[in-house]
Structure 1
Amino acid sequence: MIEIICNGDDEAKEKNEKNEKNTAIRRPKNIKQIGDVSSDRKIYIEDYAFTYIRSIAYGTPQEEQSGVLLGECQKSGEEKCLFIKGVIKARHSGEDGRQDIYFDEKVWNGIYADVEKYFPNLQVVGWFAALPDVTTERMQYLRRVHLDNFAGNMKTMYLINKAEKDENFYLFENGDLKKQKGYVCFYERNYEMQEYMLQKRGVKSVEAPEKDKVMKSIRAIINEKEEQKLQKKNAVFMYGISSFMVVVVLVIGINLMNSYEKMKNLDQSLSSIALQMSNMNDNGSEGEDTAGGVVSVNKLDGNVYPTRQAESAQTDVQQPPVQTEGVMPDTQPSGQSSIAANPEINHAGSGQVQNGQAEETDTAPQVQTEAAQDVQAGAAYETYTVQDGDTVMGICKKYYGSISKFSEVIALNHLEDADQLYVGQEIKLP
């Protein structure tokens, strides 16, 4: 025979007991002990809740008042502590002439509505009853009300006997309500109870002046709480705005850095292009402005350059002056042969040369006249033989350092087409 033993439930119970022993009860610091609280079941009530119950009880001495107690229960090992932090007065409709204490469906609906509105984080831990006088019969009635509505070992009843001003807490033990020897009143900022007291303030306390001071203090505390909430919301909002502005500034900074790099690269590219164009102008390379007359020497196939017969035949020897009608020159330039004067000038513009001289062509008088004009003007010039790649502008830059005498060179050499030079051609430089 095999016996199976299940230890799961026992292990779970032991684990829960260990957790309960290790759990520390959060006890309030500011407390006032009333009576003997040496039992392992202790009751703590917050001062505002305690004050509100007394104001209800003694505000109407001849009426019965009741309500529920709200709070929480904490355990640590064998010790159990009940903390009461809220109170809700039961609203009796007074139907059917009933003036006693009862909790029907309508009463509970009103209580749960107030719990949800003012004390959403608390639970029902008991109830209170304030009677003008407590008799044996009324005590039995209160016992039935407790068992019907607040069953449980840690559900308490706070009973106030107005006639004798006797106030005591009760817990259910051994099938009956047992009066506790003492309890503890603690003090803290109970904002929920303060707000409920302000909203439900309908009955004045016996100690009216002191109560007014308390209410003023409560209002000040609630206003302070609301201001703190508002400041917290504003701080969160400002933090979000600040974070957004930081992101915007970072994005703008990154875009500016990228734009700066692009502008820097563009500036370098423009500087490089300007430098290249400057070098091309200084070297007189091809591609300069043709409007200024700067054109390189045209080169044909086979390294043959076009020549002009009339210009290639020019030399530095001065031509004899043109003969005019009836006038003979007194002197002759050195290095020239004497030329006989012919008294008769051919009206066609051609003349006869004596002593075996060749007959001049129609263009000879014009060339001689231009040469004579240069001699008469006393112009002094140098000659330059055109080489491969030379231009009029390039020659001016080479000899004068600028192109200021570009027009004079063209006029002096009587260049009909200033855009073409030929290799071997002699250019006069003024």
Structure 2
Amino acid sequence: MERQLPKNVRQIGNVCDEPKIYVEDYVDTFLGQLQEKAMEKPVAAALTGEITKCEDKVVVYISGAIRAEDVEVEGTNLKISEEIWEKIEKEQKEYFKDQKLIGWCLLETGHPMSMNRGAQELHRKMYDQENTIFIWKDASSSDEMYFAYKYNELMQIGGHYIYYEKNPQMQNYMINTRRQNGVTPSEMVEDRAAKDFRSAVRQRMEIKEQSQSSKLLYATSALLVVVVLAIGVSMMNNFERMESVQQSLEQLASAKGTEAKVDDNAQVNDQRVNGENENQINAQSEGQNQEETTENQNSETVAASGSVKASSDTKKTNDAKSEGTVPEVSTVQEQLSQSDYYTVKKGDTLASISKKTYGDTGHVEAICKMNGLSDGNLIFIGQKLLLP
């Protein structure tokens, strides 16, 4: 099964070159500890791990490091004795039995890494395999260079990754060799992979909690918006109901004014008819004493008869009113001429009606009294107002 690329990584430099180099965090820590020991003399370490392919790319995983106790420096040449190599191979089988030797690291100070110092010849002698790794570190600074053995020579690689995983083999090696390597227990690091894992889990939990809080806040906001909309709709409905009630009150007030107007008209007409009846009756009695009656007198007699009939109808109306029956408005309106009314038009007020009819605004109160209006503003379009 093909190994998957680590997900928890930290990039160092430009990683566009191939092979892709992944250095485990414990290995990087161990090389940093050896860097302090290289201030006195050069220190070397063998690298263990695997060279494989992942996603059609060559990937080198450096999962372990074994210190070479002594490195012989003769001018520009480097030499590691056979005894040191035997010890490295023994420790590799003891601590990293499922890994292979895939490269080495040289830590020194005062000299920039130079190919003519024999590093390339030493690498070719120890690791004559494609894509094996050589690391050079400056003990006095943080400078470092990574090389891959390709086309029979060491070629510099622009960058690499530091990855974080459980690495009990390297951790066990660091604990058991801390005395011979000069690393005290206080310099040992805790299980960084576990710590980073816990940190990643904690961050995911925080992100999840923030997401849940955001969802709750969104739901609360949406509910609040719905409540506000419901209140707004209820207020609009109540406003429409209030307007309807107000219109009903206005119509009732107008109907009351019309009823009062009808009563007044009935009373006025009753007075007029009674007066005409008296006059016509006198005229009729005088005509009976005369022998000749002209055509005009006959007309007056007919009119008198009509007036008597109207008086009789009016009397019946008043009798019905005294008995609690209200006469119809149309019966009263038929007895008045069109000139006795004013039909309200759009934009009319009692003041404008008074001015149109009488030439001034002094008859507003009389119009109100005549039509039984308690409020002069309660008139509507099409309403017929009785003029005084």
Q: Same fold (TM over 0.5)?
A: no
Q: Report which of the two has the higher share of helix.
A: 2
What band does the TM-score fall into relative to the shorter chain?
Answer: 0.3 to 0.5
| Superposition TM-score, scaled by structure 2 size | 0.45
| Structure exhibiting the larger radius of gyration computed from Cα positions | 1
